Structure 1
Amino acid sequence: MNTVAVQSVPFSSAVRPPAPGAGPAQDSTPLGSLIRAHRLRIGLTQRELADLSTISVRAIRDLEQGKARRPRTDTVRLMADALRLGPRARAALEAAAQQGRGSDGGWAEPPAPPTALHAMAGRAGEVAVLAGELAAATERLVNVVGLAGSGKTRLALAVAERLHGTGLPVLWHAFPGSPAEYLSCHDRELTDRLHGLAADLFGCGPGPDGAAAGDAAALAELLGEGPALLVLDGAPAAAPRMDRLTGLLRACPGLRLLVTSDAPWGVPGERIFLLSPLEVPEEGADPGANPAVRVFLDHVRRARPEFTAGPAELERAAGVCRVLDGHPGALAAAASWLVVYDLTALCRALDEDPAALLDHLGGAGGGSGLRGALLERLGRLPEGPRALLDALCAAPGGGLPGPDRGRELADLTALTGLALPECGRLLRELLLSGAVRAEHRDGTSRFRVLGPVRAAWAHRAAATAAAR
């Protein structure tokens, strides 16, 4: 990046050259050089200018060093007021800011999303829908929700990769406990700023250097008014502070948020995107073309590289996918057991006790601790939806083994004795939790509890009964 002299952008003759040794910062921009020259002219430190302008010290430093190249219009106005600029100098500052916004999009190189460690199968439709909505900014806050292990992070990676391919800057923040499915591309400074922003949004304490609010404000200046995608992976189910979320979206009108979480936030403008497990092959269909089967076989080959899938093995793999309802995390966990089982024995074990195979055999990977994660999520359901889940799992045909064939909403009202509107509200809670799957065919909607959920719920019920 070339260093640009202050003289490359005209400004008021009242501006005197800076003192010797106080030249423009390395890699500065015309705007940054102007701000620094005006600040030194009136003898202000960056801290003093921050106090006068209400702009954070970090944001001022970024502007002067050329890191933030497309400041918000309000920022330029506050800076001009604090520097006590006359009409000509103010106009020059605004022109330099406009030049920065239009020259290179504000980034020397747009930040990239993390690098995925594994390929993704069967989500082309979901990727296309989300990427289209976010690219066109028809949605600015998308929350991808679903059960643990359903592939929310991998979907977000694919969407972010597609959008970054169009030139959109992608910022990525992973909350503690998020699955390690990728290699981060951000440098330490940007990672720390995103940590501070997350702390600011959720009111969960200061960032690494105790300046969460400063990090959030500086990041807003870095983003400016141009387009960018911010991914919050594994975000808390509790909603962020609305004043700070609204302030961020207002300050950065081109910003889109893609969130992965296990529950909706319930905030205005939130686009809830429920990620269901992969579709499983129907009886008699070709299992080799099914995405759930392909995902399962990919995990099988990691456990047993010599494995080859003939017709009999494909049918058994399809049976595994049906029992586990195409849930990616459960498929990964079950495949890990092929270190000690063969595929036939694995199918028998799943018929006898699926819950025992929901946790990854090696204690690592996408399926690790899945049973506990499912029970923890379902345990946070309100009493009403939890009672409906109990009724669905205990009803004839809803127990183990074998797939749940599903019920219509009218069947659920007869099962529970609840009125249709109340039953519908409880069912919606279960759908958004990911515990229940909807199937719409021939004008009829049927709802069924996912196989991994039924297995974990049955294990929980048996453990509770044994403890009494």
Structure 2
Amino acid sequence: MAVDTAAGAGALHFGMMVRRHRIRIGLTQRELADFSTISVRAIRDIEQGRARRPRTDTVRLLADGLRLGPRARAAFETAANRGMAGRALKEGFRAEPPGPPAVLDPIVGREREAAVIEDELGSGAERLITIVGLGGVGKTRLAVEVAGRLRAAARFPVLWYTMPGSSARTGGDLAGGDFTDVTRGCVEDVFGSGDGQGVGAFAELAGDGPALLVVDGLGRPEPRPDRLARLLRECPDLRLLVTADEPCGVRGERQFLLAPLETTGPDGEPADAPAVRLFHDLADRTARRARRTPAETALAAEICRRLDGVPLALRAAASWLLIYDLETLLRCLAAGPAELLDHLAGTDGASGLREALERCVGRLPAADAELLSVLSAGDGGFSLDDVVALTGRSLPASGRVVRDLLLRGLVRTSQEPGRPPFQVLETVRATAARVPEQLPFGAPHRVSHGL
């Protein structure tokens, strides 16, 4: 439904609010009509944004029928007011653009990634970027950094939406104050089972000016291409930044794989490694400050290597420095991948890391999960030839499997001399290391590198 005025945007905004409250308490339109004494047709017109100026009595009866409490009723009546929900809402969007959520976590070692994404979105070279990677690798934190830079440098309004049930660490569902319902409706339309009205309301709010929509914590994204195309068409200067376990898989998407932090510096010195710098910063925030002598830096670098440079794992390990010195912590982590996550359990971030790992591994196709288990049972190193031998698949088919594992952040490339070209992450091995008695694609086979 095309909407050409700010009052139309307000009507759609109010209509979506009515529909959301109705669904929340489990009422059909007919049942709400019975409770409120308003006709089904009038409720349908309101929910579809056709009623531009609902009467005060109508708003009051709807609030009664929806059983709204005092605070919800006040917000409901405010949204029904044409000035607030319409022109004033749109004018406020541009006058004081909303920004991303505030976070306390430091961002270390992501300067290049942040600069690349900021440039691509800010210039309009890319309109849809999906940051993918292992849970805990820092996708949300990077998105916050990029959104903050665009907001500060170019006054981009930032509409942020965290998916329900997501483990993203942003402190909840933040979409931008008064714009929450409009943002939620748009995201539900594009990535869920919305009825299509949300895209129209969002397009009216954002208009043809620059804006950034961040959708944080998509598990397995399945966007509706027609709705996505309509959103990008009706908002010609809108950019989308998505964080997800997997790529969206739509045409025109820029897939940005966020790898763990490097555990060695550019010149080979551990002190310059981003993972080590972050670990030292985290250690400084505990009761124990790192002295950063060459010996302690070498121990910190080995801890970071065993934890793959995954920021959430580093956070969990650093919290143990309340009682351990670095050497003791390293000995605990060196017991093997099977005990790694168990030892970290109960520390800052460890439960979220375990959940993210289990979710990511659990979403693999059965045959790929079994393959990952075998690859994890040795030292985690493997080649494409190993995958061909294990699965009996062709080289192109095996390449697709490895590519999928890379995009999910479960494996990484290795440039170490004498090592195979791919490596299962230690934190992943702690989750997936289970040698099956029989693979679904044939007899068990031992990988040539270290198993």
1-structure distance, mates of 2:6, 2:405: 53
Q: How much does 1:246 deviate? A: 1.9
Closer/same/farther in 2, CA of residues 202 and 133 from structure 1, 3 Å limit:
same
| Residue 278 (str. 1) matches residue 264 (str. 2) | no
Deviations 1:282-328 (CA, angstroms, capped at 9, x unpaired): 79932221110011122222333444332221111000111111111
Q: How much does 1:129 deviate? A: 1.3
1-structure distance, mates of 2:117, 2:186: 24
TM-score (norm 1): 0.70
| Pick aligned residue for 1:68 from 87, 90, 106 | 90
The AA in structure 2 aligned to 1:190 is F
Q: How much does 1:371 deviate? A: 2.3
Q: How much does 1:220 deviate? A: 1.4
| Residue 217 (str. 1) matches residue 187 (str. 2) | no
Closer/same/farther in 2, CA of residues 54 and 245 from structure 1, 3 Å limit:
same
2-structure distance, mates of 1:64, 1:321: 52
| Residue 331 (str. 1) matches residue 323 (str. 2) | no
Aligned sequence identity (%): 46
Gaps of 5+ in 2: 11-41, 53-78, 437-451
The AA in structure 2 aligned to 1:258 is L
Contact 2:89 2:178 in 1 (8 A): no
Alignment-derived partner of residue 110 in structure 1: 97
The AA in structure 1 aligned to 2:227 is R
The AA in structure 2 aligned to 1:180 is R
Alignment-derived partner of residue 424 in structure 2: 449
Q: How much does 1:204 deviate? A: 4.6
Deviations 1:206-257 (CA, angstroms, capped at 9, x unpaired): xxxxxx7555422211100111110001023131222222221111111110
Alignment-derived partner of residue 238 in structure 1: 221
| Residue 257 (str. 1) matches residue 240 (str. 2) | yes
What is the aligned residue count?
Answer: 370
Closer/same/farther in 2, CA of residues 364 and 313 from structure 1, 3 Å limit:
closer
| Residue 248 (str. 1) matches residue 231 (str. 2) | yes
Alignment-derived partner of residue 403 in structure 2: 428
Closer/same/farther in 2, CA of residues 392 and 186 from structure 1, 3 Å limit:
closer
Contact 2:388 2:398 in 1 (8 A): yes
1-structure distance, mates of 2:146, 2:369: 33
Alignment-derived partner of residue 169 in structure 1: 157
The AA in structure 1 aligned to 2:87 is Q
Q: How much does 1:363 deviate? A: 4.0
Q: How much does 1:455 deviate? A: 1.9
Deviations 1:1-42 (CA, angstroms, capped at 9, x unpaired): xxxxxxxxxxxxxxxxxxxxxxxxxxxxxx869x99xxxxxx
Alignment-derived partner of residue 13 in structure 2: none
The AA in structure 2 aligned to 1:320 is I
2-structure distance, mates of 1:360, 1:255: 45
Alignment-derived partner of residue 202 in structure 1: 191
Closer/same/farther in 2, CA of residues 375 and 110 from structure 1, 3 Å limit:
same
Residues 56-65 or 266-275, more deviating: 56-65
Deviations 1:96-120 (CA, angstroms, capped at 9, x unpaired): xxxxxxxx9x711222122231221
Closer/same/farther in 2, CA of residues 225 and 360 from structure 1, 3 Å limit:
farther
Alignment-derived partner of residue 350 in structure 2: 367
Q: Secondary structure of the residue that 1:303 maps to in structure 2? A: coil
| Residue 418 (str. 1) matches residue 393 (str. 2) | yes
2-structure distance, mates of 1:237, 1:184: 18
Closer/same/farther in 2, CA of residues 271 and 306 from structure 1, 3 Å limit:
closer
Closer/same/farther in 2, CA of residues 311 and 265 from structure 1, 3 Å limit:
same
Contact 1:391 1:416 in 2 (8 A): no
| Pick aligned residue for 1:321 from 277, 297, 304 | 304
Q: Secondary structure of the residue that 1:329 maps to in structure 2? A: helix
Q: How much does 1:135 deviate? A: 1.2
Contact 1:360 1:369 in 2 (8 A): no
Q: Secondary structure of the residue that 1:265 maps to in structure 2? A: coil
Deviations 1:355-386 (CA, angstroms, capped at 9, x unpaired): 44436858464333322321221111113422
Contact 1:334 1:357 in 2 (8 A): no
Closer/same/farther in 2, CA of residues 180 and 32 from structure 1, 3 Å limit:
closer
Q: Which has the larger radius of gyration?
A: 1
1-structure distance, mates of 2:318, 2:239: 37
| Pick aligned residue for 1:188 from 173, 177, 184 | 177
Closer/same/farther in 2, CA of residues 382 and 237 from structure 1, 3 Å limit:
same
Closer/same/farther in 2, CA of residues 142 and 383 from structure 1, 3 Å limit:
same
Gaps of 5+ in 1: 1-30, 37-46, 70-103, 206-211, 463-468
Closer/same/farther in 2, CA of residues 360 and 302 from structure 1, 3 Å limit:
farther
Closer/same/farther in 2, CA of residues 445 and 160 from structure 1, 3 Å limit:
farther
The AA in structure 2 aligned to 1:428 is R
Contact 1:333 1:359 in 2 (8 A): no
1-structure distance, mates of 2:211, 2:420: 38
Q: Secondary structure of the residue that 2:320 maps to in structure 1? A: helix
Closer/same/farther in 2, CA of residues 445 and 159 from structure 1, 3 Å limit:
farther
| Residue 146 (str. 1) matches residue 133 (str. 2) | yes
Deviations 1:368-410 (CA, angstroms, capped at 9, x unpaired): 332232122111111342233233223xxx33xxxx5x44434
* RMSD of aligned Cα (Å): 3.5
Alignment-derived partner of residue 97 in structure 1: none
TM-score (norm 2): 0.72
Alignment-derived partner of residue 383 in structure 1: 366
Q: How much does 1:162 deviate? A: 1.5
Contact 1:147 1:374 in 2 (8 A): yes
2-structure distance, mates of 1:64, 1:347: 59
| Pick aligned residue for 1:226 from 209, 219, 225 | 209
Q: Secondary structure of the residue that 1:229 maps to in structure 2? A: strand
Closer/same/farther in 2, CA of residues 215 and 372 from structure 1, 3 Å limit:
closer
